[in-house]
Amino acid sequence: MNFINYKWKEVIIKRILNKDIIEEFYYLALTDIANGRSITELEEAIELYEKAEEYEACAGILKAIHESGYMTIREIINKVRNDKRTN
């Protein structure tokens, strides 16, 4: 029973860390977009991370690409600033 509880804790911690990694890459990519990096450059980064099997990085960058399509640069900057203040 103790082994099962330990394994579940391990799984939960891993998922939390994975979410943190995704969010970190999401904000990094949003910052890159706000600073003028092209979507093509971010897509190239996704390819590199895919080859390295860093799928959390890919997910975060992809999330930023998709969301940035619905926001202005000013909205992106404000989102990054506001979210950094709350974290």
Can you point out the beta strands (E) in the chain?
A: none
- Break the chain into its structural domains and give their ranges: 14-86
Question: What is each CA distance from 57 to 14, 19, 43, in whole angstroms?
Answer: 15, 10, 12
Residue 28 has pLDDT above 60, yes or no: yes
Is the full-model pTM beyond 0.85? no
Which of residues 3 and 86 earns the better pLDDT score?
Answer: 86
Residue 46 has pLDDT above 60, yes or no: yes
pLDDT for res 11: 58
Residue 83 pLDDT grade (very low, low, confident, very high; cuts 50, 70, 90): confident
